[in-house]
Structure 1
Amino acid sequence: MKLKVWAGLLLVWVNLLLIPIAQAEDLPQQTQLQFVDSNGLPVSMDFVQKDGHYQINTQIDLIFYKMQFISSGTIKSTILKPLSYTDSRSGKPYAQARFSGEGVDYGKVSEAVKHMSVKGSVYDMFALGWQLGFNHGKLPANTYLTNGKKVYQLNAVQSRGMAQMMVNGRQIDIRQFSISRGDDLVEYAFAPQLDNIPVRISYMDNGKVYTLQLKGGQINGKVF
């Protein structure tokens, strides 16, 4: 009887060792993603991680000018820790945020820098999307969001269930989530079969709703 018990415990222990644990090296090393916005304009988003650091470079080609958002920071396991965020318009910095253990310094570059002390993590719009995808829709407690101009405390993530969408002529399953940002909603969708990369992001800026939807790209050099 005791032999059977020990054999059972040994089997459980072996199975636990075999469970894959998500580490930074298991996440995409590099992705180049192509989206379109609500008006059909192209949007590119590149994610790169190397030596414990990451950078997300998002560019939106509007009719009269370009918008660029660069987020950078460190990464450990599946946790992104942002260090800086810059929102540029036509090549000139428009708003920015710098993160530290004591809080966040932020604001438009044309105005005085503001400081907010927080007890939790602060993400920009795009780093938040990758953080959610890597962690299956979960966020640390006391999570904040900034667009460089303002800082919002986020409510709990709400699951909106599974759905399907077309990506480069291929029907894929997606998981959908929403988060309250002040009076607005930020919505994300991720593709489990594509390493949980973001496939749709919807947010509001200056009263205007932007929706980015994935059309294709590469993950670690492989076209999908």
Structure 2
Amino acid sequence: MKVKFWLGLLLVWVSLLLLPVARAADLPQRAQLQFVDSYGLPVSMDFVQQGDQYRINTQINLIFYQMQFVSAGTVNGSILNPLSYIDSRYGKPYAQARFTEQGIDYGKVSEASKHMAVNGPVYDMFALGWQLGFNHGKLPANTYLTNGKKVYLLDEVRNRGNAQLLVNGRQIDISQYSISRGDNVVEYAFAPQFENIPVQISYMDNGKVYTLQLKGGQIDGKAI
């Protein structure tokens, strides 16, 4: 009887170990994405992972309109740990943030730097999009968001359901999420068939709402 009992228990444990385990997806080594914003302007986003480092370079580079947002830090699996964020206008730093275990130093470069102690991870808007997408809409407790000028403690992530989006001439399924920051909302959409990369980002800056929508690109050399 004892042999049968332990054999049965062993079979139960083996069957549990063989069950599929839901886990976060791995971040790509490189993603070169092309978006268009609310005003029809082209926006490029280049995500690069090299060793345990990552860099996200997002920019609008036109003669009459130049903006660049660079996020950099370390990466462990699908977890991004930002170390710096710089918002540049016309080739010159406009606002920036530095992240440490003690908190965040941030502000416009034309003003004195501010310091804020935090009890959780801090992301810029673009790093947050990658973190959220590759962890299936989940964020650590006490997550903060910065645009270099201000720091916001985020509310819980709200799942807005599934929809479809036209990307590069074809309809794709997307999962949608929103997060409140202060008195406004940041919205993200991700494409499961494209490894959950961000395909749509909507945010407010200086009273204006901007929406970035994916038009095409490559993930690890493979065209979308």
Tell me if both proteins adopt one fold, taking TM over 0.5 as the criterion. Answer: yes
**Structure 1: 5+ residue runs without aligned partners?**
none
The equivalent residue for 2:16 is 12
Map residues 42-57 of structure 1 onto 2, 5 A cutoff: 42-57=42-57
User: Which amino acid is 1:124 matched to?
Assistant: D
The equivalent residue for 1:193 is 193
Q: 8 Å contact 1:41–1:61 — kept in the other structure?
A: no
1:140 aligned onto 2:140: yes
Over 3 Å counting, the alpha-carbon distance change for 1:21 and 1:137 in structure 2 is closer
Aligned residues: 220
The equivalent residue for 1:214 is 214
Over 3 Å counting, the alpha-carbon distance change for 1:20 and 1:143 in structure 2 is closer
Q: 1:44-95 deviations in whole A, cap 9, x for unaligned?
A: 0000111111000000246722000000000112111100000000100000
TM-score normalised over the length of structure 2: 0.94
Q: 1:137-193 deviations in whole A, cap 9, x for unaligned?
A: 111111111100111111111000000111101211100000001100000000011
The equivalent residue for 2:28 is 28
The equivalent residue for 2:177 is 177
1:159 aligned onto 2:159: yes
TM-score normalised over the length of structure 1: 0.94
CA distance in 2, matches of 1:155, 1:68: 27
User: Which amino acid is 2:220 matched to?
Assistant: N
User: Which amino acid is 2:175 matched to?
Assistant: R
User: Which amino acid is 1:12 matched to?
Assistant: L
The equivalent residue for 2:128 is 128
**Structure 2: 5+ residue runs without aligned partners?**
none
Q: 1:95-125 deviations in whole A, cap 9, x for unaligned?
A: 0000000100000111101100111111101
Q: 8 Å contact 1:130–1:198 — kept in the other structure?
A: yes
Q: Percent identity?
A: 71
